[in-house]
A and B are shown apart, each in its own frame.
Chain A
Amino acid sequence: MSVHMLIAGFGGQGVLFAGKIVAYTGMIEEKQVSWLPSYGPEMRGGTANCSVCIDDKPIGCPIVLNPKTLIVMNRPSYDKFINEVQPGGTVVLDSTLIEADSTRDDITVCAIPATQMANDNGLHGLANIIMLGQTLKATGFCSMDVLKEAMKRCIPARKQHLLEPNLRALQMGYDY
């Protein structure tokens, strides 16, 4: 299936990294892939987002303006993008940080307290991965095996000790 995903939050929450993992799932499945970050002075603390497209045919515009899937991890991004989601699309939001108040009834909203779950389970900083697990469950954009493999490829050799907590976070998000 094709992926047309926007991942948004604060800089430092790992939204770009989560997007990279998604992009790698497309690589593994030998599809066309694009990953485009917002860039600039928002590196730390400001809002950051990235667009990920996966398709069988060449990616035209790599900017995701109307996402089929929106992963959102802060309020400003929720306000900015909630009305841009395609009808029939899916929104996965971190309910620890966002009180969802959209009245849209043409989209599926999955609320998951990812930040709280991460903090409660010694997975500090891995809310993004918990979100990713939930997104996989909600959309089935690839298989769990492919996503795990993508994660392995995104974690550099010298940080392999981080793989285990990441996989745990992924599963926790999926099982929620």
Chain B
Amino acid sequence: MAEKYLMKGNEAIAEAAIRNGCIHFFGYPITPQTEVSAYMSKVLPKIGGTFLQAESEIAAINMVLGAASCGVRAMTSSSSPGISLKSEGVSYIAGSDLPCVILNVMRGGPGLGGIQPSQADYWQATKALGHGDFQLLVFAPATVQEIVNLIGTAFDLAEKYRMPALILADGMLGQMMEPVEFPEITPKPAEKPYATTGTQGKRKPNIINSLYLQPDELERTVRERFARYDIIKQNEVRCEEYLTDDAEIILVAYGATARVVRSAVEDARACGIKAGLIRPITLWPFPEEAIRNAAARVDHMITVEMSMGQMVDDVRLYANGQCDVHFFGHTGGIVPTPAEVLDQIKKYAGGAE
């Protein structure tokens, strides 16, 4: 068994990225993700990689665009306000069919908001991290170990499908320390015949571009991309179900909030209420099937988020009226407590003592 380390989520993600062959990192300081940059700045220069503190979030994401164009694994990380600044570059990266990994350690918003944990960027991550028709792969780890495990997956899938991947974490996951082990891996970056590494006079020039002035050409390109998205929806959905088999009430939560809800589900079981939890690990593609099936079995679902209710839209969409879907959450940096969630479970479980 690999050695276990006690590491902060932010440091673990940096180490995991490096172990997965990402040695080019471009960032800008912002709380609560700064440890990612700090870790990268310590390690990368020693192993021949690039750590560059950019002049802005905008520059950082465009450096990622440049590096990804040239075929290397590249990454940037930030926190909510900084991610907004990156959205232009993210759209171009998606439009240029380039792989990269972006980390958002979410904090409260809108505006400068706050620096405590939040999940208020769900809509941004899954619906519109930039202009135009496109999606990102969105992963929502709930433990430091899962962050480590998902970062390799994020790079692999980003390359396989030639699209950006987003790790959607929050201030709690970024700042907390948990035991973590790094599985032995040999990164296998995909072949990138499209990369702009110089023709060497042996081939036609490669062009990385997102401009299509002919509408039919642009539509064709976007449709091809969406055909790829359909394949991803078929093959890459990840979610965890906890005690849902016999559940009479099902909660839906992701990331750090799912940990709180898991505690509440256990407390509910101790009170004799058969509660269960669906924890989406990919937020896009969303676990539509799991929600659809669960909604057919129970009368009530409760979505718990650190926001005013964003993922609940998707839960309602795929529950499709089969059951009532309720929302409970806090925003602004307040983490819901297990006791509060238990109250919600009791409220809707009905009859149970």
Contact = CB atoms under 8 A, between A and B. Distances in A.
Do A's and B's CB atoms come within 8 Å in the complex? yes
Contact of A40 (B116, B143, B260, B339): B116
Contact of B31 (A26, A37, A39): A39
A40 B260 CA distance: 22
Contacts of B6: 20, 23-24, 27, 33, 35
Contact of A35 (B116, B171, B178, B256): B178
Interface in A12-64: 20, 23-24, 26-27, 32-37, 39-40, 58-63
Interface string B1-43: 0001010000000000000000000000001100000000000
A35 B5 CA distance: 13
B338 A61 contact: yes
B115 A23 contact: no
A61 B178 contact: no
Contacts of A26: 179
B263 interface: yes
Contact of B178 (A33, A40, A65): A33
A60 B266 contact: yes
Interface string B152-189: 00000000000000000001100111110000000000
Contacts of B262: 58, 60-61
A40 B107 CA distance: 12
B259 A59 contact: yes
A35 B144 CA distance: 11
A65 B116 CA distance: 16
Contacts of B335: 61, 63
Interface of chain B, helix or strand or loop or mixed? mixed
Contacts of B206: none
A40 B31 contact: yes
B337 A27 contact: no
Nearest to A30: B4
A20 B339 CA distance: 27
A36 B4 contact: no
Contacts of B256: 62
A34 B179 CA distance: 8
Contacts of B31: 39-40
Contacts of B143: 58
Given A23-B6, A60-B266, A39 B178 contact: no
B260 A60 contact: yes
How large, as a class, is the contact surface on chain B? 20 to 34
A40 B114 CA distance: 10
A24 B262 CA distance: 24
A11 B42 CA distance: 25
A26 B6 CA distance: 10
Contacts of B116: 40
Nearest to B335: A63
A48 to B, nearest CB: 12
Given A34-B178, A61-B260, A62-B172, A40 B266 contact: no
Given A60-B260, A61-B338, A36 B172 contact: yes
A62 B259 contact: yes
Contacts of B175: 36-37, 39
B259 A39 contact: no
B30 to A, nearest CB: 12
B176 A36 contact: yes
A35 B338 contact: no
A37 B9 CA distance: 12
Contact of A27 (B4, B115, B259, B263): B4
Nearest to A24: B6
Given A34-B178, A62-B176, A39 B263 contact: no
A136 to B, nearest CB: 19
B275 to A, nearest CB: 13
Most chain-A Cβ atoms within 10 A of its Cβ — which of B115, B176, B259? B176
Interface in B215-274: 256, 259-260, 262-263, 266
A34 B171 CA distance: 14
A36 B170 CA distance: 13
Interface of A: 20, 23-24, 26-27, 32-37, 39-40, 58-63, 65
9 contacts: A24-B6, A27-B6, A33-B179, A36-B176, A61-B335, A61-B338, A62-B172, A62-B176, A62-B256
Given A60-B259, A61-B337, A65-B339, 4 more contacts: A26-B179, A27-B6, A58-B143, A60-B262
4 closest Cβ contacts across the A-B interface?
A60-B263, A35-B177, A36-B176, A61-B260
